Structure formats: structure tokens, C-alpha cells
């Protein structure tokens, strides 16, 4: 482990945007747990994903089909797959080789589960254990505080701006690109490949490609560079 829990807590508390949380903090969480993949999402963003991914979510993240999700929803505490099901059953629920071991933790606000942070490992890697769960529980506490303060404040400011101004920037953001598409734009601007974007947002590489095609049509551009250049005028 190259980063301590204390440094992770400090980094979370100093983060001022959801983009920075995803691009800077979540990878550090994945590094802390020696994970193969990692991700974070808030439930209020799920309706923004493409239709194919919605079908995957309906099964993969449903209480009925996924005992890990059911445990999170019912108990609001971190869980790994071995705690709630057998290895054989898990391979049926989630057959992906890079999701052989899965650990997820809750982000809670006002007593409600509002998001999830998760890490996965391959079959050849050690399984998550009770110490990992304890550490993730501490991390989720800080993420929950962040969601209740920084993220909530950001949403409130955006709402006020939308109500009080008719600025071109806010109209552009709300009318032409979804929140998910804006996340993709930010990652494109950082030089991420489609595969890297998919990994960070927990969607398939093909979903990223299809999203970019839709965004090009909306913005009437023909390249990633042109898209970023156009949107940079609005300081998104």
C-alpha cells in the first residue's frame, strides 16, 4: 500500500468537486486496496446512462439478483462477495474474470443510500478480508460526509444559478449534454482513452464510443479535440 488511510481521509476532505473525487481520490482508494478495478457512482445519475447499460444495471445491481447489493441496501455497511454468497454462485451472478472478488461500500446521506464505492480483484489475486471491510467502512464515512456537504452544496449552487440566471453556459449544460456526457467530456479533456473512461465510469468501452457519437451530433463536431475546444469556451 502506497497511501495511508489518514492521507486518504485528508484527500477526501480537501476535494471540492465530484470530478476530482472520481479522477483523483477513487483511484487512490483502488490503489490502497490493491484492486484491479474501482469505481464510484451516485444513484441520482443512473437514469443518465445508456439503455444497454441500464439493462445490465437492472440485473447486476438489483436487490433480487445481487446479494452484495441487497446487503448494502439493507445494512448500509461494506460487504464483499464471500460474505454473502458462495464462489460458485458468484460466478453465475458476475462472470467477469476481473470481478472474481468484489467489495463495495455505501455512501449515505440523511439515512438514505445515495451512492456506492467499489473495488474488484481477479481470481489470481487475494480475496478481500475483514480488515479491508473495516478500512472501507472508515473511507465510506468520509465519503458520506463529503456527499452531505460538498456535493450537496454544489448541487444547490447549480440549482440557484439555473433559477436566477438565463446564462448561456447553464442553458448549454442542461439542454444539450447530460451529466454523464459531461463526465465523459471531462475525461476526454484529460486525455483518457475510451477504455480508461469506461473503467473509471464503470461502463463498457463500446458505451463510451456510442456516447461520443451522440455528443458529436449534439455539438455538431467531428472530433474529440473539436468537442473539447468548443466546450472549453463554457468552462465546463
Residues 22-36: tens digit of each pLDDT: 889 999 999 999 999
Going by C-alpha positions, the residue among 22, 55, 20, 46 that lies closest to residue 179 is 46
**Domains in the chain: ranges and CATH:** 5-155 (3.30.450.40), 166-232 (1.10.10.10)
| Beta strand extents in 17-166 (DSSP E only) | 37-42, 79-80, 101-109, 112-121
Tell me the sheet residues that pair with 80.
103
pLDDT band at 149 (very low <50, low <70, confident <90, very high): confident
- Provide the whole-model pTM: 0.64
Torsion of CA 70, 71, 73, 77, to 10 degrees: -160
pLDDT of residue 163: 47
Q: What rounded mean pLDDT belongs to the chain?
A: 80
Q: What value does the mean pLDDT take over residues 141-155?
A: 79
pLDDT of residue 168: 45
Amino acid at each position: 500500500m502506497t497511501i495511508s488511510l489518514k492521507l486518504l481521509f485528508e484527500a477526501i476532505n480537501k476535494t471540492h468537486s465530484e470530478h476530482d473525487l472520481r479522477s483523483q481520490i477513487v483511484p487512490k482508494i483502488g490503489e490502497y486496496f490493491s484492486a484491479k478495478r474501482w469505481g464510484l457512482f451516485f444513484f441520482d445519475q443512473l437514469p443518465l446512462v445508456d439503455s444497454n447499460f441500464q439493462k445490465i444495471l437492472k440485473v447486476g445491481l438489483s436487490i433480487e439478483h445481487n446479494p452484495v447489493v441487497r446487503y448494502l441496501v439493507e445494512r448500509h455497511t461494506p460487504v464483499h462477495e464471500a460474505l454473502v454468497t458462495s464462489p460458485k454462485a458468484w460466478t453465475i451472478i458476475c462472470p467477469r474474470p476481473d470481478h472474481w472478488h468484489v467489495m463495495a461500500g455505501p455512501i449515505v446521506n440523511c439515512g438514505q443510500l445515495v451512492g456506492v464505492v467499489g473495488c474488484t480483484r481477479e481470481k489470481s489475486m487475494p480475496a478481500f478480508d475483514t480488515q479491508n471491510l473495516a478500512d472501507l467502512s472508515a473511507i465510506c464515512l468520509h465519503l458520506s460526509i463529503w456527499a452531505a456537504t460538498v456535493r450537496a452544496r454544489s448541487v444547490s449552487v447549480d440549482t440557484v444559478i439555473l433559477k436566477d440566471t438565463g446564462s448561456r453556459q447553464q442553458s448549454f449544460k442542461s439542454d444539450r449534454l447530460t451529466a454523464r456526457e459531461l463526465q465523459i467530456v471531462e475525461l476526454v479533456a484529460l486525455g483518457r482513452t475510451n477504455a480508461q473512461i469506461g473503467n473509471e465510469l464503470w461502463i463498457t468501452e463500446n458505451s463510451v464510443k456510442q456516447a461520443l457519437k451522440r455528443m458529436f451530433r449534439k455539438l455538431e463536431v467531428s472530433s474529440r479535440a473539436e468537442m473539447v475546444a468548443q466546450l472549453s469556451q463554457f468552462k465546463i
